[in-house]
Amino acid sequence: MTRAFYVSYYDSNIGMNNIVYSKVEDPGRYDRIYQSDLRGWVGQLGYGNDTAWFSNVYKAEESQYLKAVGFYATAPGTSYEIYAVRQTGKESEITEVHEFDRKIFLTDGAFENAGYYTVSFDKKIKKELKLKKGERFAVIVKITTPDTVHPAAIEYDAGDGRTFVDLSDGEGYISADGKVWERVEKKQNCNLCLKAYTAAQ
């Protein structure tokens, strides 16, 4: 079927920001999504070079498997490493006692294009990813995006009046080296764009 639409000759923005959906997953693949960035990618954060570590901590609402994480590649050629921390301690243990040194490697890879990606995990590591109800867990991404200085996508109040950003619904951390972490809601007034997906099987 052919569809037609009209664009004003005075439109100065068409074609400026294009989005392509190359794959749409079955909505029933995951049972729960854990997230704090309801608006999504608004800006970027980093330490003046192309690599940063970022993490969100969530509380499992039921006993399920951690199946995937979702995050943005903010430019082409982005590579990543993904980790998890089971039974994550409180904020002071993360920022002062190197709690994230207990991280479990899950997978790595690279993206040719910028955009939002969902990365699932190998079934071989399934046993390590069975979360208990009420358990605090962290998902961690080390991201490297060539030719950028702020590789991590964040949600923050840009002052444009378009939406309200809730900083009370997340617990996010960022690091330059994966060792020393700071809480982004307190230090940077933002939420990290990093989701976790779980399912019963």
Domain ranges across the chain? 32-199
**Distance linking the first and last C-alpha atoms of the chain:** 39
- Read off the pLDDT of each residue in 54-63 and give the average, rounded to a whole number: 97
Return the pLDDT at 147: 94
DSSP string, 131-152: EPTT-EEEEEEEEE-TT-S--E
Fold of 32-199: Jelly Rolls (2.60.120)
Confidence of residue 119 (pLDDT cuts 50, 70, 90): very high
pLDDT band with cut points at 50, 70 and 90 for residue 128:
confident
Q: How far apart, in whole angstroms, are the C-alpha atoms of residue 169 and residue 195?
A: 13
Share of the chain above pLDDT 90, in %: 74
Q: How confident is the model at residue 57 (pLDDT cuts 50, 70, 90)?
A: very high
Window from 11-20, 51-60, 80-89 with minimum mean pLDDT: 11-20
Separation CA 137–CA 25 (nearest Å) = 24
**Cα(79)–Cα(109) distance, rounded to whole angstroms?**
6
Averaged pLDDT for residues 43-60: 97
